[in-house]
A and B are shown apart, each in its own frame.
Chain A
Amino acid sequence: DSGVTQTPKHLITATGQRVTLRCSPRSGDLSVYWYQQSLDQGLQFLIQYYNGEERAKGNILERFSAQQFPDLHSELNLSSLELGDSALYFCASSASGGSYGYTFGSGTRLTVV
């Protein structure tokens, strides 16, 4: 157990639907990062939150959004889902800027049918 908890582990949904992925960071970590891993794009950074505020944005689609709550857990919302959104979504947390290391969750596997 890495200390970063992601739920659900697996999710199957239909095109056009909306889903929410949840991440609880390791205790004491203020930063949360979301990544998408797909066969064609590899591992891509989506977005980072630090203590409730958006800190950095990567290749995140407009159909996707995220937030970090006061208890520091984060949610990634994916809407108007397409087949190409099928991927493994990872959450990682770090204490501050990240140079001290990141801890990854085990991921949520999203399948869009």
Chain B
Amino acid sequence: AQSVTQLDSHVSVSEGTPVLLRCNYSSSYSPSLFWYVQHPNKGLQLLLKYTSAATLVKGINGFEAEFKKSETSFHLTKPSAHMSDAAEYFCVVSGENSGYALNFGKGTSLLVTP
């Protein structure tokens, strides 16, 4: 079975400073990995996805993530946080053996302070 572990439930950064949201995955197969964002009272929006192409994946709004097989990690980064980045972020894994259903991490709440 595939799963992800988000290492921080809450992250707080100052506006203009870098963002790092950590995610480790567990998968017996070559996984597809995603980061989704959920703003308060909103639906889920795809930030980026890794599907065994380039290990450094660029997403929307300046976010990127690097797939590191040796570390089984897929951390999300952004060079400079904006106030509008405050939201809940989910690391997600899917794979063929689960019918490609998405398995979500528990989420990391990002707080951006002025």
Contacts and interface: CB of A to CB of B under 8 A. Distances in A.
B7 to A, nearest CB: 15
Contact of A99 (B32, B42, B101): B32
Interface residues of A, number: 27
Interface in B18-37: 32, 34, 36
Given A33-B102, A43-B104, A90 B44 contact: yes
A42 B49 contact: no
A70 interface: no
Interface string A84-104: 000000101010011111111
Contact of A90 (B43, B96, B107): B43
Interface in B82-102: 90, 94, 96, 98-102
B87 to A, nearest CB: 14
B30 to A, nearest CB: 10
Contacts of B90: 43
A25 interface: no
B51 A56 contact: no
Contact of A42 (B43, B98, B99, B107): B107
Interface of A: 2, 31, 33, 35, 42-45, 48, 50, 55-56, 58, 90, 92, 94, 97-107
27 contacts: A31-B100, A33-B102, A42-B104, A42-B105, A42-B106, A42-B107, A43-B104, A45-B101, A45-B102, A45-B104, A50-B99, A56-B101, A90-B44, A92-B44, A97-B96, A98-B32, A98-B94, A98-B101, A99-B100, A102-B102, A103-B46, A104-B36, A104-B43, A104-B44, A104-B45, A106-B42, A106-B43
